[in-house]
């Protein structure tokens, strides 16, 4: 049984070629292979065709839920839409960013105080190891005000303004990284998929989130060179053929979350799983459904090195 968005239980119907598949959350057109839509453990899920925006799968698609570090997709989206953006602009890392991570017990890129890193590198640091220190650095750099607190609040306002511009009517941010301050950092599977679709149109964003790993070099406060090695917390990359992103997120109120994307045979799909303890296998099942393939049953997850961030 799959539960619909309005709380009505709907008996799963076998999909017939040429007939729309009825899924939780509404009727939609079945992929060409006409397979039965899979069930997933997520509290909420959604998948769309990236080219057309058409719905491929829906489960409680419009129910608001906390989204953990998938929030950082919007952080990146706001930065990338900044007029006259210079990705090579350098930012000096402040001790406050490190203190924030320690206080929150948050995921980190382990940015060192005094290091000078570029905006492009901060985007890598935020999107691969899910560095909350990098997210704070970006919010501080692109917000306005005379203090870090004022600038980060200003940036969060920009995130909400961008959500309005993108028509994300069931989304609200109270943080730059998903560590909610007022329990008002939420989205829906549909909104988050729309946000990811918008972000993936930026070549910089798409180029970063598909990397399983990156090595970056920064200038230290003494003029030396520091090497940063960051691994992508998204284990679907390198595990499911064609996976190209996007972002993980996990914290206590949100549970395990995943925004995912993959391309096969020229078709790109983007999906969202909120609060799903089986997020990677469920993502693979949904992708198989979209592509008419059967990779999920044999998929082996890419392992992260000891010491790499988990999110």
Q: Which of 50, 69, 175, 239 is catalytic?
A: 69
Phi-psi region of 120 (alpha: psi -120 to 50; beta: other; left: phi over 0): alpha
How many other CB atoms are found less than 10 A from the CB of residue 144? 11
Rounded-to-integer distance, Cα 21 and Cα 184, Å: 34
Half-sphere exposure of 208 (CA within 13 A, CB side): 27
Percent helix, strand, coil in the chain, to 5, is 30, 25, 45
Query: CA-CA distances (angstroms) from residue 15 to 2, 22, 36, 91, 298?
Result: 14, 8, 5, 53, 24
Q: What is the DSSP string of 28-48?
A: EPPPTT-PPPPP---SEEEEE
* Catalytic hit among 58, 130, 198, 254: 130
Give me the catalytic one of 72, 162, 194, 285.
72
How far is residue 47's CA from residue 260's CA, in Å, rounded to a whole number? 9
Is residue 72 part of the annotated active site? The answer reads yes
107 catalytically annotated: no
Burial 145-161 (b: 16+ CB within 10 A, else e): eeebeebbbebbebbbe
Residues designated as active site: 69, 72, 130
């Amino acid at each position: 049984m799959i539960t619909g968005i309005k709380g009505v239980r709907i008996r799963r119907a076998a999909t017939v070629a040429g007939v729309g598949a009825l899924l939780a959350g509404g009727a939609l057109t079945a992929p060409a292979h006409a397979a039965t839509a899979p069930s997933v453990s997520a509290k909420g899920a959604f998948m769309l065709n990236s080219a057309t925006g058409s719905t491929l799968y829906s489960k409680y698609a419009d129910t608001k839920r906390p989204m953990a570090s998938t929030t950082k997709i919007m952080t990146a989206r706001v930065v990338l839409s900044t007029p006259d953006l210079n990705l090579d602009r350098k930012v000096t890392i402040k001790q406050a960013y490190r203190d924030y991570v320690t206080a929150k017990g948050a995921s980190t890129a382990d940015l060192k105080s005094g290091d000078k890193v570029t905006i492009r590198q901060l985007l890598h640091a935020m999107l691969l190891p899910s560095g909350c220190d990098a997210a704070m650095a970006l919010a501080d750099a692109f917000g306005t005000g005379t203090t870090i607190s004022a600038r980060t609040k200003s940036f969060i306002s920009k995130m909400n303004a961008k959500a309005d511009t993108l028509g994300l009517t069931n989304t609200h941010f109270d943080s730059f990284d998903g560590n909610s301050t007022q329990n008002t950092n939420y989205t829906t599977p549909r909104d988050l998929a729309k946000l990811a679709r918008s972000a993936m149109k930026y070549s910089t964003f798409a180029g970063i989130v598909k990397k399983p790993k990156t090595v970056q070099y920064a200038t230290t406060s003494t003029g030396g060179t520091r090497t940063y090695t960051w691994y992508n917390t998204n284990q679907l990359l390198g595990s499911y053929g064609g996976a190209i992103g996007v972002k993980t997120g996990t914290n206590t109120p949100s549970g395990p979350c995943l925004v995912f994307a993959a391309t096969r045979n020229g078709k790109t799909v983007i999906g969202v799983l909120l609060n799903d303890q089986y997020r990677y296998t469920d993502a693979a099942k949904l992708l198989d459904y979209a592509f008419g393939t059967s990779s999920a049953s044999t998929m082996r997850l890419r392992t992260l090195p000891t010491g790499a961030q988990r999110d």
